[in-house]
Structure 1
Amino acid sequence: MTKIVSYINDFAISDSTSPIEYKRAGYHQRYLTINGEEIANTGIDCETCLFYVEVSGAEWKNPRGISVILNNGLTELNHNFVSELSCIVPNGQYVVALFKAYPRLKRQADGSEYYQIGSRRVGSGKKIEEYIVPIQPSGSLDQSVTEKYMKTGKGNVNPTALCVSFLDTKFPLNDIHFDELWLHTHYLLDGHHKMFAAAHAKMPVSMLSFLSIDESFASRAQIDKLIQALDDKMFFDWKKQIG
């Protein structure tokens, strides 16, 4: 299960220059697009399509400094750094959170990939499930870069990946234990090598995630409950399950 290290509530972005946008299409369907091209279907009731893309076009104020900070690993958040990053995140209202997680790579029959990072009850008949979805497939990653991050992780440094995320509420029909499922899904914008290295070496990774309040298929009360649950000191450690 992920653990919140630090977060900023109600962070508004109104002047982003990001080529990334959100697109709604039909009932509970939502896409991430780059320069108008759909790169990932992030809706509730469909499979996620993965594409090998490079996010470009954003007007980074300090790309080298941001890269160094993320590679060295964040331990807390501050408004100035989050504001620097906001140029590549679509406009909207967010909860910006820094998480720690132990990702487990899963491959589906069609070859698509995702990382499982845990689950937890959030009330009677309610459960949170958390996932990380890469945009870049693991087969395209540079092995030497992956090995570099594995060595970094063994030195007790947890590099930070960058994501946008959503909380989506589903009502499963065939689950006898839970009648409400909360899907908290992070979509990787940067940090594919970091995530794959952490999963391969069974090490923790940190994630700076912009949780969209506007685009989530969940109420604000449910988003607040999610943050409360992930900020709970009783942290379920996936490392014990995969060691």
Structure 2
Amino acid sequence: MIEAGRPRRLGVPAPDARLRFEAERRETGGGPGRRLLTVDGEPAFELSFWCGTCPFLFRRLPTAQQTLSLKGIGEHLTGPLADLDDGGVIAAFGALLPEGEYLPLLLRVEPRRVVPGGDGDYFGGEQVATWGLDQFWGLPEYPHTPYYRTFDTAVDASAHLYEFVVPMVPPTWNDRERVAEYVDLMARGTVPTAVAVSTLDVCEPAIGPGSDHYRHWGLTHFLLDGHHKLEAAATAGRPVQLLSLLALGEGLAESGDCARLPDLRAQPRSARSARSARGARGARSA
């Protein structure tokens, strides 16, 4: 299930936004440094490097210690939103964000919790198959947080879409009673709503040291509200609704790539297959 709106102008002037996308400047050479997601002026996540040939990345930083839930809006999110304009939720959360163009997406997700280095870890699996291990550390990229995998599908033979929901704080910080309340609520058929600001990064190595060279489309939803709901859904194997505000122009993707997301997200879920890998290698050698 997906409902997509039209891009709309949201947000407040950047200095007044609680959440911002920023780029550090290197002390020497003046070139771009890390891409960051900041909360209340503190770096919260390091994002994929700007070049687009480095591995896709979201990495929680030590100063990521708070969520962005809003008082007075929770009653609209206990169940599913009827549409993208239900209850003024977009306007309310848009006021947390820097002024810009955002594509609203209303998704139904079935989250699966992943621990870095454990079963299903993208960074130790699909990413290593394309980029290989980090040449300095000899290890996979490490996001420093558990996260949720929710969807993946083929873009074409040489590209694959991976979707992630990333909590602002670790699930271990969640209140156990609230998680249990949502588990019970979901068992009775309720599908609550979570809210996220999202980015799309399209990354491909210039030279593929791994066995499966292709473009990785990383659709990352950073949770603004719904940390307890996502953990409960992953625990109970139940779906949640996710209101995504995709920040256009803040990811490593062309506008045409972002425009394709609603159609791609409506496709059947499919993992990267051996046939796709062979097809991508054949296309490179042709």
The TM-score bracket by the shorter chain reads 0.7 to 0.9
| Alignment partners' CA distance in 2, 1:154 and 1:136 | 25
Q: Secondary structure at the match of 2:243?
A: strand
Residue matched to 2:197: 164
Offset of residue 178 of structure 1: 4.7
Q: Is the 8 A contact 1:50 1:134 kept in 2?
A: no
Q: Once the two structures are superposed, what CA deviation does each residue of 1:5-27 show, in whole Å capped at 9, x if it has no partner?
A: x2212111153653111112365
TM (norm. structure 1) is 0.84
| Alignment partners' CA distance in 1, 2:33 and 2:187 | 41
Q: Is the 8 A contact 2:197 2:245 kept in 1?
A: yes
Q: Secondary structure at the match of 2:169?
A: coil
Gaps of 5+ in 1: 239-243
Residue matched to 1:229: 264
Matched ranges for 1:25-174 at <5 A? 25=24, 29-44=34-49, 45=55, 46=57, 48-51=59-62, 53-55=65-67, 63-64=71-72, 66-78=73-85, 80-109=88-117, 112-172=145-205, 173-174=208-209
Residue matched to 1:21: 20
| Alignment partners' CA distance in 2, 1:30 and 1:154 | 40
Q: Is the 8 A contact 1:53 1:136 kept in 2?
A: yes
| Alignment partners' CA distance in 2, 1:194 and 1:237 | 25
Gaps of 5+ in 2: 26-31, 50-54, 118-141, 272-286
Q: Secondary structure at the match of 2:59?
A: coil
Q: Secondary structure at the match of 1:184?
A: strand
| Alignment partners' CA distance in 1, 2:83 and 2:198 | 19
Residue matched to 2:125: none
| Alignment partners' CA distance in 2, 1:237 and 1:198 | 21
| Alignment partners' CA distance in 2, 1:160 and 1:145 | 15
Gap change, CA 1:236 and 1:71, over 3 Å in 2: same
Q: Secondary structure at the match of 1:214?
A: coil
| Alignment partners' CA distance in 1, 2:210 and 2:191 | 36
| Alignment partners' CA distance in 2, 1:228 and 1:198 | 25
Between 147-156 and 168-177, the greater mean CA deviation after superposition: 168-177
Q: Partner letter of residue 7 of structure 2? A: D
Residue matched to 2:248: 213
Q: Partner letter of residue 40 of structure 1? A: F
Q: Which has the higher strand share?
A: 1
Residue matched to 1:10: 7
Q: Higher Cα Rg: structure 1 or 2?
A: 2
| Alignment partners' CA distance in 2, 1:126 and 1:237 | 12
Q: Once the two structures are superposed, what CA deviation does each residue of 1:70-97 show, in whole Å capped at 9, x if it has no partner?
A: 1222132128442233112221111111
Q: Is the 8 A contact 2:164 2:219 kept in 1?
A: yes
Q: Partner letter of residue 199 of structure 1? A: A
| Alignment partners' CA distance in 1, 2:111 and 2:11 | 32
| Alignment partners' CA distance in 2, 1:47 and 1:222 | 20
Number of residue pairs matched? 228
Q: Is the 8 A contact 1:153 1:198 kept in 2?
A: yes
